[in-house]
Amino acid sequence: MAIDMRQIAGLQEQALMLRARRHEVLANNIANADTPGYQARDIDFRAAMQQAGEAIASGAPLAEPVLGYRNPWQRAQDGNTVEMQVEQAALADNAVHYQATLNFLGGSFSSLRLAITGTGK
């Protein structure tokens, strides 16, 4: 029986990639916090995850997640919609979820090692 790493990792692999992509988008928002006219972007994680699940089920290639625009609480005079506290909170939240996904993936690999060696060492 061949071991299919994709099957072992399952959706967690997609989740990790989406989290990494979202981290880039949020980092970019923070980088452009003082750029006139810049509009903050974000990924709708739930929608992107659903899309990834459907793509895996149907065997279709994975598409890039759709980037949306953030609805600011208060828009700056120069048209910038980055709110530093919102972006930093989202970044911290995303980082924690990224680490959680890493833990789940690591758990899958430990289980596999346990099955192979019988001791997990």
Name the residues that contact other proteins, by CB under 8 A. 20, 23-28, 30-36, 38, 41, 63-64, 66-67, 84, 88, 91-92, 95, 98-99, 102, 105-106, 109
| Contact status, residue 121 vs residue 53, Cβ threshold 8 Å | no
Q: How far is the CB of 75 from other proteins (least distance, A)?
A: 16
Q: How would you class 13 by CB atoms within 10 Å of its CB: exposed for 0-12, middle for 13-18, buried for 19 or more?
A: middle
Minimum CB distance to other proteins smaller for 9 or for 49 = 9
Report how far residue 121's alpha carbon sits from residue 78's, in angstroms, rounded to the nearest whole number: 58
Least gap, CB of 101 to other proteins (angstroms): 10
In the complex with other proteins, the residue whose CB is nearer, 53 or 97, is 97
Least separation in angstroms between residue 57's CB and other proteins is 19
Rounded to an integer, what distance in angstroms lies between the CA atom of residue 69 and that of residue 67? 7
